[in-house]
C-alpha cells in the first residue's frame, strides 16, 4: 500500500507558487521603478508618437529651481499629512474607545461608522463638492440659518486647504477607528478588570491601562495612514484640482500635472524619485521614533 512518489508538480511546488507574483513584481513594479530612475536622468519627450531620449541629468535638476508649483506642493503636502493624520488619530481613537463601551447596537454603530471608507474617493470628492457649493451647498445653507456666510469653501485660498483636510478626515477616521476598535476589543479583559478591582475609575483605566496597551496598534494605524495620506490624489483632484492657485496643490497632483499636462517625463520622473525618497525617509524616521518610544 505504498504511495506514489511525489510528482514533478509537487516537488516544484515551492517554486511555481512563488514565481508568478515575483514575475508580476519584477515586470510591473521593479522594472517601472528602474525605468523611473532612468527617466529621471534623461530628457524624454513624445513628439508625434516618437520618443526622444537624451541623457541629461542636469536638465531635470534645473527644473527644480524653475518650478514655481513645487514649493507650495511640498508645504501643502506636509501640512495636509500632519494635520489630517493627527486629527484622524485623535478622533478615531476617541471613537474606538467610546464605541467599545457601548452596550447595545455595537455592530450596527461600527457598520455605520466605516461606511465612508467604502465610498470611491472620487464619489467622496463629488459629494463634498456639492456640499461645499457656494450657492446651494449644505454648509452655506446651514450658516445662513445663523445669518452667517456664505463662505467660498473651495474657492477661497484661506479655506480651501482646511476644507480639503475636512474631507480627508471624514474619509479616513473610519479606517483608524476600525483598526483601533479591533485592538480595543481584543484587549485582555482580565487586565482591565484587575485594574478596576485595584480601584481605577474609568478615565484612569483608559489612561493607565487601555492607552499603553493600544500603543502598538496606534503605531500601526499611524504608519498605514501616513503612507496613504502622502498618496492622496483622487478626492483633491475632484474637489479643487489643486486650486485656487496653488492653495491645495499636493505633491501627487503636482506630479500628475508635470507628467500628463506638461508632458515633462524626465522632470516628472525625477520628482517621483524625490517623493519616494521623502516618503521612505519619513517612515524610517517615524518608525525610529515609535520604536524608541516603546523602549522608554
Partner 1 sequence: MAAVDIRNVAKSFGALSVMNDVNLSIEQGEFIVLVGPSGCGKSTLLRIIAGLEEASRGDIVIAGQRVNDLEPRERDIAMVFQSYALYPHMRVEANLDFNMRLRKRPKPEIEASVKTAAGVLGLDTLLERFPRQLSGGQRQRVAMGRAIVRRPQLFLFDEPLSNLDAKLRVQMRAEIRKLHLEIGATSIYVTHDQVEAMTMADRIVVMNKGNVEQVGSPLELYDKPSTLFVAEFIGSPSMNFYRGTVGPDCKIRTRAGAVLPLSPACRALAGQEVVAGIRPEHLSITDEGPIATQVVLVEHLGPETFAYMEGEQGLVCVRLPRDASPVRGSAVRLSVSPQDVHVFDSETQRRLID
Partner 2 sequence: MGRLSLFQRIFLAGTLAMVVGPFLWILMNSFKYQIDIYQGTWIFEPTLTSYMDVLFSRRSQFTNNLWNSVVVASISTIVALTLGTLCAYSLHRFRWSKWVSGGILAWLLLFHMIPVITLVGPWYLIFRHLGLYDTLTGLVLTHVTINLPMTIWLMMAFFAEVPKEMEEAAQVDGCTRVQAFTLVVLPVVVPGLIAAGVLSFVFSWNEFAIALNLTSRATATVPVGVAKFAQDFEIQHSQMAAASIVATIPAILIMFFGQRFVVRGLTLGSVK
Taking CA atoms, 208 is separated from 101, 203, 212, in Å, by 17, 9, 7
Is there binding between residue 204 and partner 2 (CB under 8 A)?
no
What is the spatial distance between Cα 174 and Cα 116, in angstroms, rounded to a whole number? 7
Closest CA to 34 of 272, 284, 275, 251: 272
Is there binding between residue 154 and partner 2 (CB under 8 A)?
no
Near partner 1 in 5-34, by CB under 8 A: 5-6
166 binds, among partner 2, partner 1, none (CB under 5 to 8 A by kind): none
From the CB of 160, what's the least distance to partner 2, in Å?
16
User: Of 237, 243, 286, 290, which lies in the binding site for partner 2, with binding defined by CB under 8 A?
Assistant: 237
From the CB of 11, what's the least distance to partner 1, in Å?
10
Q: Residue 241 — φ and ψ, nearest 5°?
A: 50, 30
What is the spatial distance between Cα 72 and Cα 183, in angstroms, rounded to a whole number? 37
Closest CA to 232 of 172, 158, 163, 153: 172
From the CB of 33, what's the least distance to partner 2, in Å?
7
146 binds, among partner 2, partner 1, none (CB under 5 to 8 A by kind): none
2 binds, among partner 2, partner 1, none (CB under 5 to 8 A by kind): partner 1
The residue among 44 and 72 lying less far from partner 2, judged by its C-beta, is 44
Instruction: Answer positive or negative: Cα dihedral of 267, 268, 271, 277.
Output: negative
Is there binding between residue 280 and partner 2 (CB under 8 A)?
yes
From the CB of 3, what's the least distance to partner 1, in Å?
5
First to last CA, the chain: 62
HEC profile for 252-282? HHHHHHHHHHCCCHHHHHHHHHHHHHHHHHH
Binding mask 94-133 for partner 1 (x = CB under 8 A): ----------------------------------------
Identify which range of 2-10, 56-64, 123-131, 262-270 contacts partner 1 by CB under 8 A.
Answer: 2-10
Is there binding between residue 48 and partner 2 (CB under 8 A)?
no
Write out the three cell numbers for 225. Answer: 495612514
Amino acid at each position: 500500500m505504498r504511495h506514489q512518489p511525489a510528482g514533478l508538480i509537487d516537488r516544484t511546488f515551492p517554486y511555481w507558487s512563488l514565481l508568478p507574483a515575483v514575475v508580476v513584481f519584477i515586470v510591473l513594479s521593479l522594472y517601472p521603478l528602474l525605468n523611473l530612475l532612468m527617466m529621471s536622468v534623461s530628457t524624454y519627450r513624445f513628439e508625434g508618437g516618437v520618443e526622444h531620449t537624451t541623457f541629461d541629468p542636469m536638465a531635470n535638476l534645473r527644473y527644480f529651481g524653475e518650478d514655481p508649483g513645487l514649493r507650495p506642493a511640498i508645504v501643502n503636502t506636509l501640512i495636509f499629512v500632519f494635520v489630517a493624520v493627527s486629527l484622524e488619530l485623535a478622533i478615531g481613537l476617541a471613537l474606538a474607545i467610546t464605541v467599545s463601551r457601548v452596550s447595545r447596537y455595537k455592530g450596527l454603530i461600527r457598520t455605520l461608522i466605516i461606511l465612508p471608507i467604502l465610498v470611491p474617493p472620487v464619489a467622496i470628492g463629488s459629494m463634498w463638492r456639492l456640499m461645499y457649493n457656494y450657492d446651494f451647498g449644505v454648509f452655506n445653507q446651514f450658516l445662513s440659518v445663523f445669518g452667517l456666510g456664505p463662505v467660498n469653501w473651495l474657492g477661497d485660498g484661506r479655506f480651501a486647504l482646511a476644507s480639503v483636510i475636512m474631507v480627508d478626515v471624514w474619509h479616513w477616521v473610519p479606517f483608524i477607528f476600525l483598526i483601533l476598535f479591533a485592538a480595543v476589543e481584543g484587549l485582555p479583559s482580565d487586565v482591565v478588570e484587575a485594574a478596576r478591582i485595584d480601584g481605577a475609575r474609568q478615565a484612569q483605566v483608559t489612561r493607565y491601562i487601555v492607552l499603553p496597551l493600544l500603543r502598538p496598534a496606534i503605531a500601526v494605524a499611524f504608519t498605514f495612514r501616513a503612507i496613504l495620506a502622502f498618496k492622496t490624489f483622487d478626492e483633491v483632484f475632484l474637489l479643487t484640482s489643486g486650486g485656487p492657485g496653488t492653495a491645495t496643490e499636493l505633491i501627487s497632483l503636482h506630479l500628475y500635472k508635470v507628467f500628463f499636462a506638461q508632458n515633462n517625463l524626465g522632470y516628472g520622473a525625477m520628482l517621483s524619485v524625490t517623493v519616494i525618497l521623502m516618503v521612505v525617509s519619513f517612515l524610517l524616521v517615524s518608525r525610529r521614533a515609535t520604536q524608541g518610544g516603546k523602549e522608554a
